[in-house]
Amino acid sequence: MDIRTGIGFDVHKFVKNRKLILGGVLIPYEYGLQGHSDADVLLHSLTDALLGAAGLGDIGEHFPDSDDRFKNANSSFFLIKAYDLVKKQGFYLSNADLVIIAEKPKLSGFKKEIEAEISRYLGLDISRINLSATTTEKLGFTGRKEGVAALSTVLIIKD
């Protein structure tokens, strides 16, 4: 059995006149995140974790922000395509543990919806996806409410 772990991390800053999408879910908030795609920081970190675990590089290699095909793209596209690449290597995702780091907005009311959306994208039981939301106690750029960070860890297995 081949068991591997992967870690993904991403950061995006807040901007006006953009929707806030986290884990594929629209979050009501006065700011959205700046990025070439929809800037879903959580799905970007999860995509990187999956690619990294399988030794397949990172999101920027597969979906570069210099490619206009990905302008304003839904980040679920990146996640699904990355997981397809992982599965082509003979691996399947055992579980994902995800953290969103943001002072605002408060996300406790959205955690289950985000977990359900990610489990749907990946075709996994929701019990295999865990999402935590935390703050940095008003320290750093997230504490100053300048943006959002996300950290993802995954365990992939090949029988």
In the sheet with 147-158, reading across from the earlier edge strand, the strands are 32-33, 2-15, 147-158, 92-101, 129-134
Look at residues 21, 8, 2, 4 and name the one whose alpha carbon lies nearest to residue 148: 21
pLDDT for 3: 98
Is the pLDDT at 41 greater than 90? The verdict is: yes
CA distance 91 to 53: 10
Q: Which domain holds residue 127?
A: 2-158
Question: Helix, strand, coil: what percent of the chain each, to 5?
Answer: 35, 30, 35
Is the pLDDT at 67 greater than 80? The verdict is: no
Is the pLDDT at 73 greater than 90? The verdict is: no
CATH of the domain at 41: 3.30.1330.50
What count of other Cβ atoms lies within 10 Å of the Cβ of residue 11?
Answer: 16
- Split into its structural domains, the chain has a count of 1
pLDDT for 66: 84
In this structure, are residues 129 and 100 in contact, taking their beta carbons and an 8 Å threshold?
no
Mean per-residue pLDDT, 93-98: 98
Look at residues 24, 90, 78, 20 and name the one whose alpha carbon lies nearest to residue 53: 90
Least confident among 37-46, 66-75, 122-131: 66-75
